[in-house]
Chain A
């Protein structure tokens, strides 16, 4: 009886504690969502002036914001695709072949993961300035590809750790050449790691502020657009757009990972 009471108390305490953490995590998001329905029209758009859907309509007139969102999507998609291809090939090559300077590349890969983003940002800024690459879409994509590659590589490498080399030998033994073997065997077996890496790269790319902040030139991304408006007060149409994006991503996850939310999950 005593033990049961104690266990119950611990359980209740755990639930309260976790709930508080979740409240902490979701508080600013609920602020954003609620504020997107705020009827206020005076900066800094903080005090509550009643409920409205206006911002969801006005949003579509804010062309510079929509353009920034478009830029973000283009950069995220292009750099995810590039980083995924380069990273996957790199991970496989580094796993399989021995060559001089492997340790060096390995070391370089850890830099974007551990070093503060601002250092990466300014170092790219200085080198782009030095070789006169005009800052814009190209520099943004180069920067994003650079910091995404290591994350793809680490994900694929984790998958490679349990990888049995002999399945490739088996494929070649059965008459498939190297390229066919790569597409028939290597790629499908590594697919979960590659997808995980790509998803991480995409997430990092759309959320990046700091590195983009130093290399954007005239091409503003959505986070940079937000940064610009922070000083004067983020207008509720930005909140409205953020709310839409959030709802979109949650729907995407529920649809693709639907089994997560089913009652009988294995």
Chain B
């Protein structure tokens, strides 16, 4: 499998607004890649540059080994599923789906055959004479997907395609999209702000933040080994501890926090006296009624919340920060208001470089100079 889309050094600047910053990304043929991020992070702009609706300020975009930045959208072999569906309101469902083939001057008989085939595939048989206004949200969604897929694009771009659907329908469509993608073996580039959706569907996820890809990896890797504080907090729930590495022994670091000290497994690229961040998922957190070796962390039990099979414990640190700890329901619990000692298995915590470290370092350098 080769690389089907390659983005190199792409910047997009609107006036004084630097939306996409020096972006590099290559996408494998047949993969399901998700651009994940909150609104304004540059994910939709990136997608629109691949589609050809926006032009990169600098940099190159290659599709199937060919540079496309100067090609118009109608000259590119990629198709888009729009967030608003963008169905032509004055055309029937049949004409909407047939549109791309009509533009390619495909013979009428073949168009008919392929449209009906496509309508069967997305379970819209019998709807050909209806107009978009007569369809439900989910049906419109299927038309939008069919209209793009019928052109047999090498790459399908999807801009938050499920954003307007209700939760149940969204779950169902997620599975259906994944099924279609595997069946047709088309590369999907999928934009969403919904981290759960990204985790369920993608082969790889690119987490975007402020115009930059913070991390590009498989869903498991992203979830279990977030590379930045943003990725850790954006994907799933987590507990964050900022502090300074005060000792490193046998690959285990002791980090001093505002409220005490904790232990964490220390990869080699971390150094003594570095300001860093620890992320621990709630399901990996533990707490005891007696102090635990390697941890000097004291907290108070605030509340218990039942969420089906698990129990969420909220405990608060002396500075007021709250920690979320998940426990299997049915275990014995200390009473609310009592003292407890949070800790974790040192393999379960992730150490992350902290941007503020570099600021402190710079400040120190200035002082020394």
A197 to chain B, nearest CB (A): 18
**Are B99 and A174 interface neighbours, CB within 8 A?**
yes
- In the bound complex, residues from chain A placing their C-beta under 8 Å from that of B87 are 167, 170
How many pairs of A and B residues are in contact by the CB < 8 Å rule? Answer: 65
**Are A173 and B72 interface neighbours, CB within 8 A?**
no
Q: Given the known inter-chain contacts A173-B51, A173-B79, please indicate yes or no for A166 contacting B89, CB distance below 8 A.
A: no
- In the bound complex, residues from chain A placing their C-beta under 8 Å from that of B72 are 172, 177
**Are B82 and A176 interface neighbours, CB within 8 A?**
no
**Are A166 and B79 interface neighbours, CB within 8 A?**
no
A-facing residues in B90-116 (Cβ within 8 Å): 90, 99-100, 103-104
**Are A166 and B82 interface neighbours, CB within 8 A?**
yes
- In the bound complex, residues from chain A placing their C-beta under 8 Å from that of B88 are 167, 170-171, 184-185, 189
**Are A176 and B80 interface neighbours, CB within 8 A?**
no
- In the bound complex, residues from chain B placing their C-beta under 8 Å from that of A173 are 51-53, 73-74, 78-80, 148
Specify which of A166, A175, A191 is in contact with B103 (CB 8 Å cutoff). Answer: A175
Flag whether B272 is at the interface (Cβ < 8 A): no
Interface size on A, residues (CB 8 A): 18
Flag whether A164 is at the interface (Cβ < 8 A): yes
Chain A contact residues: over half helix, strand or loop, or mixed? helix
A-facing residues in B350-368 (Cβ within 8 Å): none
Specify which of B73, B80, B86, B99 is in contact with A164 (CB 8 Å cutoff). Answer: B86
Flag whether A44 is at the interface (Cβ < 8 A): no
A181 to chain B, nearest CB (A): 8
- In the bound complex, residues from chain B placing their C-beta under 8 Å from that of A174 are 74, 79, 99-100, 103, 147-148, 151
Chain B contact residues: over half helix, strand or loop, or mixed? loop
Interface size class of B (residues with CB under 8 A): 20 to 34
**Are A169 and B80 interface neighbours, CB within 8 A?**
yes
**Are A188 and B90 interface neighbours, CB within 8 A?**
yes
**Are B90 and A170 interface neighbours, CB within 8 A?**
no
- In the bound complex, residues from chain A placing their C-beta under 8 Å from that of B79 are 173-174
Flag whether B39 is at the interface (Cβ < 8 A): no
Flag whether A260 is at the interface (Cβ < 8 A): no
**Are B89 and A169 interface neighbours, CB within 8 A?**
no
Q: In the complex, what distance in Å separates the CA atom of A173 from the CA atom of B81?
A: 10
**Are A176 and B74 interface neighbours, CB within 8 A?**
yes
Flag whether B289 is at the interface (Cβ < 8 A): no
**Are A169 and B84 interface neighbours, CB within 8 A?**
no
Q: In the complex, what distance in Å separates the CA atom of A164 from the CA atom of B103?
A: 21
Q: In the complex, what distance in Å separates the CA atom of A54 from the CA atom of B99?
A: 60
A165 to chain B, nearest CB (A): 9
- Bitwise interface map of A from 188 to 217 toward B, beta carbon under 8 Å scored 1, else 0: 110100000000000000000000000000
List 18 additional contacts besides A167-B89, A169-B51; criterion CB under 8 Å: A164-B84, A166-B82, A166-B84, A167-B86, A167-B88, A170-B87, A170-B88, A172-B73, A172-B74, A173-B78, A174-B99, A175-B100, A175-B104, A177-B72, A180-B103, A184-B88, A188-B90, A189-B89
Interface residues of B (CB under 8 A from A): 51-53, 72-74, 78-80, 82-84, 86-90, 99-100, 103-104, 147-148, 151
Interface residues of A (CB under 8 A from B): 164, 166-167, 169-177, 180, 184-185, 188-189, 191
3 pairs of A and B residues whose beta carbons are closest in the complex: A174-B100, A175-B103, A166-B86
Can you identify 8 A-B contacts, CB atoms within 8 angstroms?
A: A167-B88, A167-B89, A173-B74, A173-B79, A174-B79, A174-B103, A175-B74, A184-B99
